[in-house]
Chains A and B, each alone.
Chain A
Amino acid sequence: EVQLVESGGGLVQPGRSLRLSCAASGFTFDDYAMHWVRQTPGKGLEWVSGINWNSGSIGYADSVKGRFTISRDNTKNSLYLQMDSLRTDDTALYYCAKDSRRYTYARGSFDIWGQGTIVTVSS
C-alpha cells in the first residue's frame, strides 16, 4: 500500500524550531519529487516547499523562504522540513505529498497525500 506518514508536529513557542518528518512506503521513493503543503484551520491549501528526486531542485513559498529547509534521505525513504524562526501564522496542519514526476518539483501534480501533522505556534 502506498503510504505517507507525517510526524514531528506539536506546540512550539514563537521563534523556536521544529522538524517535521514524512515516512514513505509502497513506492520507489527516489523516483519522485516530494512536497510539503499546509492548511490552516478552516482555510485553504498553501504549498510550502518542494524537492526533486536528488535534492538538486528545491523551491519554497515566499512566506517561508529563509526560515524553512526541505530535505530528503532516499536511503531512509524520508522527507523532512526544518522549520526555524517559527511565527504564529505558521500554525497549520502540514501535509507531505508525493509528486507524480521526478526531475523537478514544478511539473507534477500531487497524487498521494499523508494525513498530516499539526503544528501550533503559540506562547
Chain B
Amino acid sequence: EVVLTQSPVTLSLSPGERASLSCRASQSVSSSYLAWYQQKPGQAPRLLISGASSRATAIPDRFSGSGSGTDFTLTISRLEPEDFAVYYCQQYGSSPLTFGGGTKVEIK
C-alpha cells in the first residue's frame, strides 16, 4: 500500500500569501497518478489537480501542482478568502487507492 504523508498538518497564512503543500509517498507513484482535492466544511471534496499537474475544469490558475516519483507539491500562488480549506492528495495508480491525511489551510 502506498502511504501518503502530507505536511504541514496546518498552514496559517494571510490572504494574498503563497501556500505550498507537500505530499510525500512511501513508494513511487506510477505515471504521476496523483491528485489533489479541496474540501470545505460541510461539503464534498472537489478535484483540483490530476496527473500531478493538470488543473481540473474551472479550477483557477492560482492553483498549480508539481512533482513526480515520491514528492509532490500543491501551490496556491495568492490565497483568496475562499481557498481556506482542507487539501488532500490521493494516489490512484495502484490498489488500494490511498489518500493523505490532509493539510488545513487556515487564516492567520
A106 is contacted by which of B51, B94, B100, B101 (Cβ under 8 Å)? B94
Interface range on chain B: under 10, 10 to 19, 20 to 34, or 35 or more?
20 to 34
The verdict on A107 contacting B92 (CB below 8 Å), with A44-B101, A44-B102, A100-B50 known, is: yes
| A interface residues, tally (CB under 8 Å) | 23
Q: Is B81 an interface residue (CB 8 A)?
A: no
Contact B96 A113 (CB under 8 A): no
Chain A residues with CB under 8 Å of B99's CB are: 44-47
Q: Is A115 an interface residue (CB 8 A)?
A: yes
B residues near A113, Cβ cutoff 8 Å: 44-46
- Interface 0/1 of B1-40, CB less than 8 Å to A: 1000000000000000000000000000000010101000
Q: How far is the CB of B53 from chain A (nearest CB, A)?
A: 12
- Flag if B47 contacts A110 (CB, 8 Å): yes
Give the residue of A45, A100, A106, A111 whose beta carbon is less than 8 angstroms from that of B95.
A106
Tell me the A residues contacting B by CB distance below 8 Å: 35, 44-47, 50, 59-62, 95, 100, 105-111, 113-116
Given A106-B93, A107-B33, A113-B45, 18 further pairs, Cβ under 8 A: A45-B88, A45-B90, A47-B90, A47-B96, A47-B98, A50-B97, A59-B96, A61-B96, A95-B44, A105-B95, A105-B97, A106-B95, A106-B97, A108-B92, A109-B90, A110-B35, A111-B50, A115-B44
